[in-house]
């Protein structure tokens, strides 16, 4: 044991030459193996083999290929003890390391087989976890395994499998919670009865194992695994998600006019997939150009400027987005999308969720969404898109709105007052009436609403994303301290009380409501839109930065006017199309065009006088909201 510890310390040692420390590590582990044998101390012996394999992988002396071969031998030795059933976590770790050794040796078929085995073990462990929190931790721990697998699949030109493995790690917890939430609407009644029976039997068996009441733990565990397999196979016949996600079946849900751009960022590269109803293509970034490094440098500068020099960020936003368009090679990617595709869905990955990709400038003066007359929307993953497509929400008549609860946003009142006449039925909690208690009292009315509109302050909490929130009345004390218990938080949205089974659209007309936890390593989509999608909405409009009160209000009014007009022509029209139309309108609108439009808003004399003063202060022929700051930050996520 001392030799083993010594070998680990030499492996981690900072002082001295790295090469010498690794040789000392190898020597110490070899000494340990003089005592630990597969028969007398199998677990310890296997752990030393793992450590030895790690040292050989990093070894500087000798030929690289020879050291990798020694590492492969050591990992295989460890796997003789760390079997899939007996030591699943150790088996997955050893298989991961073995697969990386094969990958470094350019033996991609062996790496593929080894990673396949490791992922199967990880999936088996996940099936046995009940707690959502522990599932999230497991996803964070093993997400790298899926990234390596995607890289190997692409090396072997298995593009379809690369997409499927990427999907198996992306938004996994959200996919499973939505599946559980929509259980009764996804499956036929007779299938629901079978699934409920299996679920109850699994829960009973897990309880026996956890409380020590199982007569034969090994036999019961095997039976429970068979039940899980049976459940998954039955579920996959109607909605293949999670480990059973199938790209071909997903493509069957797309119409011929829809194209998808999906990004996936590994440790070494940017990967892009273009998906339609009958094709999938892989866009290859050149490794020579260091596209990932350039993107990371761009992002760091973007986030720093946004956080510490807001005026500089606003002034440079257009050129910044133009630079991003070139880094991501948007124009080259667009060439791979069939000409008949009039609608585009963007599926970002990791920190790309923070960026208004639909507004990236093109060389002809257009922005991306203007290339697609059917609109450009977003989705967290293919699986989330597949799930919410099963939600039927045709109505758009009943509005429930939160209006300026903190009473410090002048134009949110203009916004809400101007949209009420669009809806035959509406209810508004305004100003100091918009408390959390009143909101919860009105849950029955909210559950009947087709449209939820929040015109207020928003806050994204990067340190604790579950506490990201929409501010309601009395949410701050006299010292401006935030009381989360009086806000509507992301955590609240995952409570069972929010059943938005009639909700077609949620608009979060507030700051930073579309931001995600980009530091999260589990590939989860953790944001306020994810909470509303989980609760039952089919589309969510939200913002990616701190927005302007006036331009946001005008944009939202125009957006809702457009949406009602589009629905009148086609009840299946998307929110994304109406939003894109409103974005084009506000960026191009002159002083005179704004004055004519605002004069027709259904407002009282006080508001009209205020608007006239506002417009008269503008320069003749000017376009006051031309900057992307005023319109590019809003995105439509969902159906």
Question: How does residue 519 score in pLDDT terms, banded at 50, 70 and 90?
Answer: confident
Q: What is the per-residue DSSP string for 547-606?
A: --HHHHHHHHHHHHHHHHHHHHH-TT--HHHHHHHHHHHHHH--HHHHHHHHTTS---HH
Residue 286 predicted with pLDDT over 80: no
Average pLDDT over residues 168-172: 91
pLDDT digits 0-9 by tens, 344-376: 999 999 999 999 999 999 999 999 999 999 999
Judge whether residue 83 has pLDDT over 90.
yes
- Identify the pLDDT of residue 136: 87
- Global pTM exceeds 0.85: yes
Q: How confident is the model at residue 263 (pLDDT cuts 50, 70, 90)?
A: very high
* Average pLDDT of the residues in 618-639: 96
Q: What is the pLDDT of residue 159?
A: 96
Pairing state between β 270-275 and 258-265: antiparallel
Q: Provide the residue count of the chain.
A: 639
pLDDT at 206: 86
Q: Above pLDDT 70, what percent of the chain?
A: 100
Check whether 530 has a pLDDT greater than 90: yes
Residue 347: in which H helix or E strand, if any?
strand 343-347
Residue 17: pLDDT band (50, 70, 90) is very high
- Residue 462 is predicted with a pLDDT of 87
Distance (Å, whole) CA 361 – CA 330: 9
Asked if residues 282 and 160 have their Cβ atoms less than 8 Å apart, the reply is no
Q: In this model, does residue 432 exceed pLDDT 90?
A: yes
Q: What is the pLDDT of residue 604?
A: 85
Query: For 560-597, what is each residue's pLDDT tens digit?
Result: 999 999 999 998 899 999 999 999 999 999 999 999 99
Would you say residue 287 has pLDDT above 80?
no
pLDDT at 447 > cutoff 90: yes
Q: What is the pLDDT of residue 612?
A: 85
470 vs 459: CA distance, rounded Å:
6
């Amino acid at each position: 044991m001392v030799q083993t510890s010594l070998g680990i310390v030499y492996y981690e040692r900072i002082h001295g030459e790295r090469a010498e420390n690794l040789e000392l590590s190898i020597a110490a582990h070899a000494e340990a193996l003089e005592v630990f044998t597969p028969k007398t101390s199998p677990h310890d012996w296997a752990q030393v083999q793992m450590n030895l394999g790690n040292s050989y992988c990093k070894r500087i002396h000798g030929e690289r290929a020879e050291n990798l071969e020694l590492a492969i031998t050591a990992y295989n030795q460890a796997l003789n003890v760390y079997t899939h059933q007996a030591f699943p976590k150790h088996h997955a770790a050893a298989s991961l390391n073995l697969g990386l050794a094969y990958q470094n040796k350019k033996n991609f078929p062996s790496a593929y087989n080894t990673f396949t085995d490791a992922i199967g073990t990880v999936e088996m462990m996940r099936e046995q976890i009940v707690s959502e929190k522990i599932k999230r931790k497991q996803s964070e721990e093993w997400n790298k395994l899926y990234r390596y697998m995607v890289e190997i699949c692409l090396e072997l030109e298995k593009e379809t499998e690369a997409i499927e493995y990427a999907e198996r790690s992306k938004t996994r917890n959200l996919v499973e919670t939505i599946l559980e939430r929509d259980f009764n609407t996804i499956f036929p009644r007779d299938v629901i009865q079978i699934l409920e029976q299996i679920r109850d039997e699994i829960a009973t068996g897990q309880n026996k194992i956890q409380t020590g009441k199982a007569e034969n733990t090994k036999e019961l565990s095997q039976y429970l695994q068979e039940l899980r397999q049976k459940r998954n196979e039955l579920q996959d016949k109607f909605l293949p998600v999670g480990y059973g996600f199938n790209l071909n079946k997903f493509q069957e849900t797309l119409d011929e006019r829809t194209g998808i751009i999906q990004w996936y960022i590994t440790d070494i590269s940017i990967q892009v997939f273009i998906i339609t109803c009958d094709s999938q293509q892989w866009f290859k970034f050149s490794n020579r150009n260091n596209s990932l490094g350039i993107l990371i440098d761009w992002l760091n500068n973007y986030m720093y400027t946004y956080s510490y020099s807001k005026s500089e960020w606003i002034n440079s936003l257009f050129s910044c987005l133009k630079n991003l368009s070139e880094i991501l090679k948007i124009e080259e990617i667009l060439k791979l999308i069939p000409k008949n595709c009039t609608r585009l869905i963007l599926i970002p990955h990791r920190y790309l969720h923070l960026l208004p990709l639909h507004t990236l400038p093109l060389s002809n003066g257009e922005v991306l969404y203007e290339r697609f007359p059917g609109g450009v929307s977003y989705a967290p993953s293919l699986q989330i898109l597949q799930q919410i497509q099963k939600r039927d929400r045709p109505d758009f008549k009943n509005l429930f709105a939160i209006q300026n609860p903190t009473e410090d946003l002048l134009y949110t009142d203009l916004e809400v007052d101007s949209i009420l006449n669009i809806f035959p039925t509406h209810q508004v909690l305004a100003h100091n009436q918009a408390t959390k208690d009143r909101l919860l009292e009105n849950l029955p009315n909210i559950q009947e609403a087709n449209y939820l509109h929040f015109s207020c302050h928003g806050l994204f909490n990067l340190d604790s994303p579950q506490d990201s929130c929409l501010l309601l009345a009395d949410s701050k004390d006299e010292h401006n301290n935030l009381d989360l218990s009086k806000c509507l938080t992301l955590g609240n949205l995952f409570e069972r009380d929010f059943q938005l089974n009639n909700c077609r659209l949620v608009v979060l007309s507030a700051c930073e409501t579309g931001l995600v936890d980009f530091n999260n390593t589990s590939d989860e989509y953790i944001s306020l839109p994810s909470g509303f999608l989980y609760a039952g909405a089919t589309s969510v409009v939200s913002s990616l930065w701190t927005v302007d009160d006036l331009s946001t209000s005008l944009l939202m009014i125009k957006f809702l006017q457009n949406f009602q007009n589009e629905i009148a022509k086609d009840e299946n029209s998307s929110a994304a199309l109406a939003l894109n139309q409103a974005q084009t309108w506000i960026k191009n609108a002159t002083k005179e065009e704004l004055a004519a439009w605002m004069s027709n808003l259904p407002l009282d004399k006080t508001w009209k006088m205020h608007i006239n003063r506002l417009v008269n202060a503008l320069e003749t022929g000017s376009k006051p909201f031309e900057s992307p700051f005023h319109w590019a930050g809003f995105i439509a996520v969902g159906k």
